[in-house]
Chain A
């Protein structure tokens, strides 16, 4: 879907982006992760030509975007900014309608699309006539997302989209983000410096440092097969939580004992990660969780201690970092 080859961008004497290549598949959520100044935002902004690369190739659906008129290119790529970048002199409705107006949609079509998005993003019609400064940070960020999604672009670029939000609002929006069906069809490239966020939302992560991609792979790859000490030390502080969130129940299925009584009500899906399973324990002794593996219709019942034991057995089997 998106193919980036040997991309280079130099500011003055510093190589902000130094010979980067990667591919993003259709419908995939790729997160560019790294500290400030690692080149992740520069990389992102070259994808819609807010920054022009010095050299290298970028193709979307096989077409070289560097040969397309930038305005037309950008109208087909959604863009979400950290500080939302909503126009303060436009109402919410006008803000969302920017791209449809550029594309000369008729009014009814724009209106229908706005209404559809409002519902999906848990906003009401009262918000439409408001100005951005009358809304909360979380609401503003949802409007920013609606603005990027309104013309249904196949590609969405997000530059630290949740960076300006407080933790409570952020985790709420993370939940909505994952649940939003509009986004499931999209190829998304997201920039963040927040390791938790990257692990929670990414299909694949490109960990960047000093203008280069250090490692690109699934969250589990980065966690259990780091290519060097930079990767492992980058993840070190939040390692346990990341592991809980990365390993799914199905991964440790073979280590789970099949004991206790099987109750056919309130079954947990084996597709959940360990962290979500842990959240389901109410922490009284002798409590069992019932988990269903939908592939073979098998149900296992397990206690907290048994779950932890299975988790550590699974980990011990992984190659050592």
Chain B
């Protein structure tokens, strides 16, 4: 146990370097994309005031872009632009376009027709009318649009960390994965402050009297470029190989921290979401990634797991965890969930994951095929003796397990099932359980030990000897602390693993993590 609960302030001080870097990246990302969005949106907005027949189309497209969920938009960018800053900037600028185009259009069409007519009648040409009359008079409205876009961008930029573009999202999503509230707040509070500060500053700009400060229009682009430049300050380092680790892996003792302390591994690292990491490895954007040993994409993308020769990754045996009161309420439940115990080993799980992740079969179908093959499948009874609520984290393996449990419960008991899948990281799903929102979800012993119980290093080292000792420890502690019971392990060990492309690993003769360290230190 932590003897001393770290305060938010201590965390921020300890991580000051990283926090500063992330903040600079965040500001940089926000303003690079904003700058490009202004470069595109302003002329486009002006254009559709001249060609009104296109205004509906352009505003419609910009509106549709706005409604695409940010994560999905980032996902679409990967095949085209890879990972890192480029796709993040493009995604952000697409979000910023709508308010800028719309306000430019509204601002210019709102200029008093008599004033415009006077300008033309005085003998101004169309550019003089635009720059001397329309733009200055529309400026407050256009600035309001840029202000909206800035605030949107500060918010959406937190998601940039999913595709290795950095920013304050690294702390936020790392914190969610690691069940570390301080880390979440260390990312969320600065992000919120940035939004408030920029909103305030832009509100001041909006109130400026443009009649009196005509130079302001010239200063603005320079300022935008300077702020954009902040992004590049922290990323002025490189290396032989590039590693992409999930935010969760970055902050874990049995992850990057262990790699540094036990192996002394120093590698150029970027933070990236699990969803795009494998693809990025296959496309040679990344060379080393932190994956899960049963992940189906391992097989699909020809990746190879590096041997953990110093044993820093503890076992991650999967087992359902259940609220004790749920076990009392549903007496048949434990027996039913345990039907799956011992039926799935590592290679079976990798195969099942491969079917969903790569062959794109639905988790339900994969689950049913498996149960039928194992002769465990029974048709639904349509029972109504209460509803078991099953949760899951947001990745394929959990969906498959949840589908299997759903079918087993409906086939073997008279209970009905409600599923709450896709509950983000460990923190979200575990909080849902302690707050009595779900009854069951599949968890891994290693996660329970490190992320939830946050066991001290000494205990972890002692337990790493065997899978049973870890299981016994978490079972005991969960019952005592949370009144949650670990049922029998399902069989497979979905541990953390470092992996590389098979071809590259062979060429470089890297088989173990120690080999990797050796290669990196070779000059």
Indicate whether A81 reaches chain B with its CB closer than 8 angstroms.
yes
Q: How many interface contacts (CB-CB < 8 Å) are there between A and B? A: 60
Q: Which single member of A50, A72, A99 contacts B117 (CB below 8 Å)?
A: A50
Q: By the criterion CB–CB under 8 Å, are B114 and A81 in contact? A: yes
Query: Of B16-24, B119-127, B293-301, which binds chain A?
Result: B119-127
A residues less than 8 Å from B118 (CB atoms): 79, 81, 84-87
Q: Is the CB of A90 within 8 A of B211?
A: yes
Tell me which of A82, A89, A102 contacts B124 (CB under 8 A): A102
Question: What 1/0 mask marks residues of chain A from 113 to 128 whose CB sits below 8 Å from any chain B CB?
Answer: 0000000000000000
Chain A, 187-227, CB within 8 A of any chain B CB = none
Highest count of chain A CB atoms <10 Å: which of B124, B128, B136 = B124
B210 at the interface (CB under 8 A from A): yes
Across the interface, which residues of A come within 8 angstroms of B128, CB to CB? 102
Interface size class of B (residues with CB under 8 A): 10 to 19
Known: A85-B115, A87-B133, A88-B137. A71 touches B121 (CB 8 A): no
Report Cα–Cα, A6/B120, bound state, in Å: 25
Given contacts A88-B137, A89-B211, contact A75 B123 (CB under 8 A): yes
Which B residues lie within 8 Å of A262 (CB)? none
Partner of A50 from B112, B121, B133 at Cβ < 8 Å: B121
CB neighbours of B123 from chain A (8 A): 71-76, 99, 102
Q: Mark B88-121, 1 if CB is under 8 A from A, else 0.
A: 0000000000000000000000001011011111
Question: Given known contacts A72-B123, A88-B115, what 19 new A-B pairs fall within 8 Å (CB)?
Answer: A50-B120, A50-B121, A74-B122, A75-B122, A76-B123, A81-B118, A81-B121, A84-B118, A85-B112, A85-B115, A86-B115, A87-B119, A88-B112, A89-B136, A89-B211, A90-B211, A91-B211, A98-B119, A99-B122
Asked whether A131 lies within 8 Å of B211 as measured between CB atoms, the reply is yes
Of the candidates A48, A84, A88, A131, the one whose C-beta lies within 8 Å of that of B121 is: A48
Given contacts A74-B121, A79-B122, contact A89 B114 (CB under 8 A): no
Closest 10 interchain pairs by CB?
A85-B118, A75-B123, A74-B123, A79-B121, A85-B114, A83-B114, A71-B123, A89-B211, A71-B125, A98-B122
Cβ of A9 under 8 Å from chain B: no
Q: Which of A73, A89, A98 has the most CB atoms of chain B within a 10 A radius of its CB?
A: A89
* Closest beta carbon of chain B to A99's beta carbon, Å: 5
CA of A82 to CA of B115, assembled, Å = 11
User: Roughly how many angstroms separate A262 CA and B210 CA in the complex, as a whole number?
Assistant: 67
Is A147 in the interface zone, CB < 8 Å from B? Answer: yes
Residues of A near B210 (CB, < 8 A) are 89
Interface string of B128-143 (1 = CB under 8 A from A): 1000010011000000
Q: Report the minimum CB–CB distance from A62 to chain B (whole Å).
A: 21
B119, closest chain A residue (CB): A87
CB distance from A51 to the nearest CB of B (A): 10
Within 8 A of B (CB), among A86-145: 86-91, 98-99, 102, 131
Is the pair A81, B133 in contact by a Cβ cutoff of 8 Å?
no
B185-232 with Cβ < 8 A to chain A: 210-211
Q: Is the interface of A mostly helix, strand, loop or mixed?
A: loop
Q: List 13 A-B contacts (CB under 8 A).
A: A71-B124, A81-B114, A81-B118, A84-B118, A85-B114, A85-B115, A87-B119, A88-B112, A89-B210, A90-B211, A98-B119, A102-B122, A131-B211
Nearest A residue to B121 via CB reads A79
Q: Whole-angstrom distance from the CB of B329 to the nearest CB of chain A?
A: 71
Within 8 A of B (CB), among A31-74: 48, 50, 71-74
Alpha-carbon separation in the docked complex, A255 to B136 (Å): 64
> Which partner residue on chain B sits nearest A94 by CB separation?
B211
B120 touches A87 (CB 8 A): no
Question: In the complex, which residue of chain B has the Cβ closest to the Cβ of A131?
Answer: B211
B115 contacts which of A74, A79, A87, A147 (Cβ < 8 Å)? A87
Residues in B neighbouring A79, C-beta threshold 8 A: 118, 121-122
Shortest C-beta distance, A275 to chain B (Å), equals 34
Residue of B nearest to A132 (CB): B115
Docked complex Cα distance between A87 and B115 (Å) = 6
CA distance A91 to B124 in the complex (A): 18
Which chain B positions have C-beta within 8 A of A99? 122-123
Asked if A89 and B137 sit within 8 Å, CB to CB, the answer is yes
Instruction: Determine the distance from Cα of A82 to Cα of B121 in the docked complex, in whole angstroms.
Output: 13
Q: Which residues of B contact A85 (CB under 8 A)?
A: 112, 114-115, 117-119, 121
B133: which A residues are within 8 A, CB to CB? 87
- A83-B125 Cα distance, complex, nearest whole Å: 22
Tell me, in angstroms, the Cα distance from A50 to B137 when the chains sit together: 21
Q: Smallest distance from the beta carbon of B50 to chain A beta carbons, Å?
A: 17
Min C-beta distance of A77 to chain B, whole Å: 8
**Which B residues lie within 8 Å of A84 (CB)?**
114, 118
Q: Report Cα–Cα, A75/B118, bound state, in Å.
A: 12
Q: Are B122 and A81 in contact (CB under 8 A)?
A: no
Residues of A within 8 A of B114 (CB): 81-85
State whether B120 touches A147 (Cβ < 8 A): no
Bound Cα distance from A74 to B128, whole angstroms: 14
Give complex CA distance A87, B128 in Å. 13
Residue from B117, B128, B137 with most neighbouring chain A CB atoms (10 Å): B117
Could you say which of B117, B136, B137, B211 contacts A81, with CB atoms under 8 Å apart? B117
Report the nearest A residue to B125, measured CB to CB.
A71
Q: What A residues does B112 contact at CB under 8 A?
A: 85, 88
- Least CB distance, A82 to chain B, in whole angstroms: 8
Instruction: Provide the residues of chain B in CB contact with A50, threshold 8 Å.
Output: 117, 120-121
Which B residues are CB-close (under 8 A) to A131? 211
Q: In the assembly, what is the distance between CA of A89 and CA of B111, in Å? A: 12
Q: How far is the CB of A89 from chain B (nearest CB, A)?
A: 5
Q: A103 — nearest CB in chain B belongs to which residue?
A: B123
Which residues of chain B are within 8 angstroms of A76 by Cβ–Cβ distance? Answer: 123
Contacts of B121 in A (CB 8 A): 48, 50, 74, 79, 81, 85
What are the residues of chain B within 8 A of A72 when measuring CB–CB?
123
Measured between beta carbons, the chain A residues less than 8 angstroms from B120 are 50, 74
Shortest C-beta distance, A155 to chain B (Å), equals: 12
Bound complex: CA A159 to CA B41 (Å): 37
Contacts of B124 in A (CB 8 A): 71, 98, 102
- Most interface-central of B114, B115, B211 (chain A CB within 10 A): B115
Cα A210 to Cα B333 with chains together (Å) = 89
Report Cα–Cα, A73/B211, bound state, in Å.
29
CB distance from B31 to the nearest CB of A (A): 27
Query: Smallest distance from the beta carbon of B36 to chain A beta carbons, Å?
Result: 28
A134 to B47 alpha-carbon distance, docked (Å)? 33
User: In the complex, A171 Cα to B133 Cα: how many Å?
Assistant: 32
Measured CA separation A8–B511 after assembly (Å): 88
Closest to B214 in A: A89
Which residues on the A side are within 8 Å of B125 (C-beta)? 71
- How many angstroms between the C-alpha atoms of A84 and B117 in the bound complex? 10
For B136, the chain A residues whose CB sits under 8 A away are 89
Q: How far is the CB of A42 from chain B (nearest CB, A)?
A: 13
Residue of B112, B117, B123, B133 with highest tally of chain A CB at under 10 A: B123
Give min CB distance, A119 to chain B, whole Å. Answer: 23
CA–CA, A241 and B115, complex, Å: 36
- CA gap between A71 and B124 in the complex, in Å: 6
* Shortest Cβ gap from A158 to chain B (Å): 11
For residue B212, give the distance in angstroms from its CB to the closest CB of chain A.
10
Contacts of A86 in B (CB 8 A): 115, 118
Question: If the complex has contacts A85-B115, A87-B115, are A147 and B122 also in contact, measured as CB distance less than 8 A?
Answer: yes
